[in-house]
Structure 1
Amino acid sequence: MLDAKTRIHEPASPEEVREVIAEAAQVGRRLEVVGGGTKRSVGAVARADAVLSLARLDAVLDYAPEELVLTARPGARLKELEKLVASEGQMLPFEPPRLTRLLGARGEPTLGGVLAANLSGPRRVRAGAARDHLLGFSAVNGRGEVFKAGGKVVKNVTGYDLSKLMAGSWGTLAVLTEVTIKVLPRPRTELTLMLFGLDEQRAIQAMAAALNAPAEVSGAAHIPAAVAARAPLKAEMAVTALRLEGFEASVKARADSLAERLRRFGRIDRIDARHSRQFWTQVREVEAFAGDARPLWRISAPPAAGWRIGEAVGEALYDWGGGLVWAPWEDAAAVRAAARAASGHAMLWRGEADAPAFEPLEGPLAALTARVKAAFDPDGVLNPGRLVAEVLR
């Protein structure tokens, strides 16, 4: 465990990152890799000898709005990047969550941290995950070797798709020193349709119908009654929400068409752009569970089966049309059993439980993952013990 005397490396250049890692590999020292430090408690590093902080690698290297491409160091802060692209009428399409209040964290989330954890917000159902927008990168592996993958435009991204391997590896394979991401035009407006009083199974059916309709839904979430009653929403019944974005005339026409399609599910209300943004921020940041002391699980499953997880473990919040379920629950075995029964997997995001944070792997998948780890970081220099079962998904 780290203590007050733990050495902290704060390199100011990619070459200094390489030097720190190469020296650690040579002498057998293990490093905890951090950006803004906001997710250090998730699958916490257990056996590090020093900290490698990327906070000083915070520059934007290139931004070409006309090409929809941005290149930055991994320590670039999300709020500054979003402000920069917003000035050009653009956005980070994967809608990265902060989760700082949920995790009780200080500091500012960084681009490298979001990509390392492959964090995506409600827009993932339409725009894709963070990893789908990582065009290329430069990095240093656990041997202290520099390597690059991908490119700065989509057509140059060829060969092995190492970008998708790095996204979600939680800094256990290599340390990113430069990343290039795709950005997209920001919608002119948005509107959210809300249905009320649906149970979980019926809500999943409504969200599936909306996502399969030609309405270009960019967010689909369900908040059951017990969770909706909490702050900040404080609703009197369950809420099922569907977001539409784009030009005003298009949004209105699609909303009319979708509302007609969903009439069989009951009452439908519409909320305007300002209130829609507030609502989806609450969903993205999982604010309903921010003050809950229980262990909090993030469960990925096929959307059609998501409702079974909530039914099994109790209170839940459903995002991505049911493909992402947040659930506070003490019994780790019950959560993981429910996730497996729904052909999904569970990850402990907050709190303590008698189980590893990441889903344990077995058989061929565990062997393959071990070989990947050995290829990039054979001596376990980077974030040792963080991924107990080395989940890279």
Structure 2
Amino acid sequence: MTPQSEAELAEIVAGADVPLRIIGGGTRPIGASAASEVLSTAGISGITLYEPGALTLVAKAGTPVEEIEAALAEEGQMLAFEPMDHRRLLGTSGTPTIGGVVAGNVSGPRRVSSVGACRDSLLGVRFVDGAGRILKNGGRVMKNVTGYDLNKLLCGSWGTLGVLSEVALKVLPRPAATATLTLKDVASDRAVPAMAAALGTPYEVNGAFFGPYGPEGGTLRIRVEGALSSVKYRAEELAKCLAPYGEAEIETDAEANRALWIDIRDMAYLADKPVVLRSSIKPGDAPGFVDGLPSSHPALHYFDWGGGLIWTAAEAAPDDGARGLVSSMQAAMTETGGHSTVLKAPDGLRQGVSTFQPPVSAVAAIEAGLRARFDPQGLFNPGLMGQAA
């Protein structure tokens, strides 16, 4: 089912008597679901408001991300949280939509900076709840904070609480220049301290990536953006600050930087791996977490967000070893307060593991209460995030 309007979407949900699998453009077939019908928002498309001077854009949920980015580029603006395009990593087709980005809180390398995640740029939403009611929250300016903040609740809920029909976003000017500092052969045990050192400077670092993590060491990438003269100065000063960790090569070519950070954003480094996990953790805990994983489950690891995001790929075939890696990572994350999500895996492996890390009992109770309030019939993506199917 692909409704062409918000009203049609509400009508479909109000009349639904079977579980629904909510999707956007179909680029992320993540997780198992007991849904018997697919409901796509791809037909509810179009930019409804764009005010460059107010740094505000409103678009229907099914609007392709590339359409939005093209409109912003004409005005020298951008989605600052640089959402990942999952197609390279997952080997899928389809078209990424802005509703799918918001539903997954999809956020790229700039998450480590003051820009924050997708939810930090979200001004307002319109959505349909499990009773078929059209609801809205927030507005089109940052000052509009009246009432409950359903924006942040819906952002990252993966379509389990409501079906997004429209989103309002804050946009930012596109930087005039970019510089990337590259330090090669950095010892893995010095990676997080090096990224912390860069992020702790006044030079406005908005990208900090390292990998692969392991006994051979890896490559450190640090990004700064802004006006040309400012970027040149900040990059040179950062190189001095990072001298204890190695000699930095500074890349200022715009196209080379763009290609590099798209590769990092989309994790092109793991595109040929059969099993990929994405884990959020306190940056300082990342090395200890990786070092503590069982050696019987070999894996490849990369750090983004200064160590706050760990990308992990099973190097072995998707068998019991990969299943053991997923289970051990999610169990260890529960102890550290982090969270591991299975982003890529063959169907056979998905049947035996949780796509989203099972929450602790207190959080599970809150989640169940929210679902009972917004989707009392259990229509939306049942089973996707651990709820009863």
**Offset at residue 312 of structure 1 (A):** 3.5
In the alignment, what sits opposite 1:348? 342
Structure 1 Cα separation of the partners of residues 104 and 141 of structure 2: 23
Q: 1:153 aligns with which of 132, 136, 141?
A: 141
> After the TM superposition, which segments of 4 or more aligned residues of structure 1 sit over 6 Å from their partners?
none
Pairwise mapping of residues 2-41 of structure 1 onto structure 2 (< 5 A)? 9-24=1-16, 28-39=17-28, 41=29
2:204 matches 1:216: yes
**What per-residue deviation string (whole Å, max 9, x for no partner) do you get for residues 91-113 of structure 1?**
00100001112112111100000
* Distance in 2 of aligned mates of 1:278 and 1:225: 22
Q: What's the CA shift for 1:279?
A: 1.2
Match of 1:365 in 2: 363
Question: Which of 158, 162, 172 is the aligned partner of 1:174?
Answer: 162
The 8 Å contact of residues 368 and 387 in structure 2, kept in 1 or not, is answered as: no
**Distance in 2, Cα, partners of 1:257 & 1:175:** 47
Q: CA RMSD in A?
A: 1.6
Query: Aligned residue for 2:259?
Result: 278
What corresponds to 1:233 in structure 2?
Answer: none
Taking the aligned partners of 2:96 and 2:185, their CA distance within structure 1 comes to 35
Aligned to 2:281: 301
The answer as to 2:98 corresponding to 1:111 is: yes
**Amino acid in structure 1 at the alignment position of 2:273:** D
Query: Does the alignment pair 1:292 with 2:284?
Result: no
Instruction: Give me the whole-angstrom Cα distance separating, in 2, the residues matched to 1:103 and 1:367.
Output: 32
Report the AA paired with residue 14 of structure 2: A
Q: Distance in 2 between matches of 1:148 and 1:190?
A: 38
State the match for 2:311 in structure 1: 326
Q: Is the 8 A contact 1:56 1:75 kept in 2?
A: yes
State which of 69, 80, 92 in structure 1 corresponds to 2:67. 80
Q: In terms of mean alpha carbon deviation, does 14-23 or 53-62 score higher?
A: 53-62
Once residues 21 and 337 of structure 1 are traced to their aligned partners in structure 2, the CA distance between those partners, rounded to angstroms, is 36
- Tell me how far 1:382 sits from its aligned partner: 1.0
Corresponding residue for residue 249 of structure 2: 269
* 2:143 aligned counterpart, secondary structure: helix
State the distance in 1 between where 2:331 and 2:202 align. Answer: 35
Where does 1:190-229 land on structure 2 (aligned, <5 Å)? 190-224=178-212
Aligned partners of 1:49 and 1:334: how far apart in 2? 31
User: CA offsets per residue over residues 183-206 of structure 1, 9 Å max, x none?
Assistant: 000000100001111122201000
TM-score, length basis structure 2: 0.91
Cα offset, 1:160, TM superposition: 1.1
Unaligned stretches of 5+ residues in structure 1 = 1-8, 228-235
Whether contact under 8 Å (1:98, 1:285) holds in the other structure is: yes
TM-fit CA distance, 1:310: 2.9
Match of 2:41 in 1: 54
Q: How does 1:239-258 map to 2 (within 5 A)?
A: 239-258=219-238
Q: Secondary structure at the match of 2:244?
A: helix
After superposition, the Cα gap between the structure-2 partners of 1:138 and 1:169, relative to the gap in structure 1 and judged at 3 Å, is: same
Q: CA deviation at 1:237?
A: 6.3
Percent identity over the alignment is 42
SS in 2 for 1:267: coil
Aligned residues between the structures: 368
Counterpart residue identity of residue 54, structure 1 = T
What is the SS of the residue equivalent to 1:383? coil
